[in-house]
Amino acid sequence: MRRADLERSVNTASSGGAVTLQMVAAEAGVSPSTVSRILNGTARVKESKVRAVEAAISKLRFTPDPVARSLARGRSMSVGVVTQSLGSPFYGEVLSAIEERLIRANYAALFISGHYREADERRSVDHLLARRVEGIILLNSCLPEQELVNLARGAPLILTGRAVTAARIHCLDVDSTAGARLATDYLIDQGHRRIAHLAGPADHADALQRLAGYRKALSAARIPFAKELVVDGDYTAAGGMRGIDALLDSRQEFTAVFAANDETAYGAMLALHRRGLSVPKQVSVIGYDDLPASRFTIPPLTSVHRATAELGERAAEAIIELIEGRTVTRSDTPSTLAVRESTRSLRR
Partner DNA sequence: TTAGGTTCTGCAAGCGCTTTCATAAGTGAC
Partner DNA sequence: GTCACTTATGAAAGCGCTTGCAGAACCTAA
Using CB under 8 A as the criterion, which residues of the chain lie in contact with its own copies when the complex forms?
4, 7-8, 10-17, 63, 65-68, 70-71, 76, 85-89, 92-93, 95-96, 99, 103, 108-113, 122, 125-127, 129-132, 146-147, 150-151, 153-155, 237-238, 241, 263, 266-267, 269-270, 273, 292-293, 295-300
**Nearer CB in complex with its own copies: 184/303:** 303
How many angstroms separate the CA atoms of 337 and 249, rounded? 30
**Nearer CB in complex with its own copies: 217/279:** 279
Q: What's the closest the beta carbon of residue 323 comes to DNA, in angstroms?
A: 15
Q: What's the closest the beta carbon of residue 29 comes to its own copies, in angstroms?
A: 26
The partner in contact with residue 45, picked from DNA, its own copies, none with C-beta cut-offs of 5 to 8 angstroms by kind, is DNA
Q: What's the closest the beta carbon of residue 316 comes to its own copies, in angstroms?
A: 13
Number of residues in the chain: 348
Query: Which three-class secondary structure state does DSSP give residue 304?
Result: strand
**Nearer CB in complex with its own copies: 105/221:** 105
Q: What's the closest the beta carbon of residue 337 comes to its own copies, in angstroms?
A: 21
CB 184 within 8 A of CB 258: yes
**Nearer CB in complex with DNA: 73/104:** 73
The partner in contact with residue 292, picked from DNA, its own copies, none with C-beta cut-offs of 5 to 8 angstroms by kind, is its own copies
How many angstroms separate the CA atoms of 223 and 255, rounded? 14
Q: What's the closest the beta carbon of residue 135 comes to DNA, in angstroms?
A: 18
**Rg of the chain in Å (alpha carbons):** 26
Among 329, 318, 291, which residue's Cα sits nearest to residue 159?
318
The partner in contact with residue 220, picked from its own copies, DNA, none with C-beta cut-offs of 5 to 8 angstroms by kind, is none
Q: Got the DSSP string for 241-282?
A: HHHHHHHHHTT---SEEEESSHHHHHHHHHHHHHTT--TTTT
The partner in contact with residue 15, picked from DNA, its own copies, none with C-beta cut-offs of 5 to 8 angstroms by kind, is its own copies
The partner in contact with residue 298, picked from its own copies, DNA, none with C-beta cut-offs of 5 to 8 angstroms by kind, is its own copies
Query: Which three-class secondary structure state does DSSP give residue 17?
Result: coil
Q: What's the closest the beta carbon of residue 310 comes to DNA, in angstroms?
A: 33
The partner in contact with residue 46, picked from DNA, its own copies, none with C-beta cut-offs of 5 to 8 angstroms by kind, is DNA
The partner in contact with residue 130, picked from DNA, its own copies, none with C-beta cut-offs of 5 to 8 angstroms by kind, is its own copies
**Nearer CB in complex with DNA: 35/241:** 35
**Nearer CB in complex with its own copies: 10/222:** 10
SS3 string, 30-84, reads CCHHHHHHHHHCCCCCCHHHHHHHHHHHHHHCCCCCHHHHHHHHCCCCEEEEEEC
Q: What's the closest the beta carbon of residue 191 comes to its own copies, in angstroms?
A: 25
Residues that bind DNA (CB under 7 A): 1-3, 18, 20-22, 29-37, 39-40, 42-46, 49, 62, 64-65, 68-69, 71-74
How many angstroms separate the CA atoms of 172 and 141, rounded? 12
The partner in contact with residue 42, picked from its own copies, DNA, none with C-beta cut-offs of 5 to 8 angstroms by kind, is DNA
User: In 10 A of CB 278, how many CB atoms?
Assistant: 10
How many angstroms separate the CA atoms of 2 and 61, rounded? 17
Please report, to the nearest 10 degrees, the dihedral formed by the alpha carbons of residues 233, 238, 243, 248 taken in order: 180
Among 333, 317, 330, which residue's Cα sits nearest to residue 171?
330
CB 139 within 8 A of CB 79: no
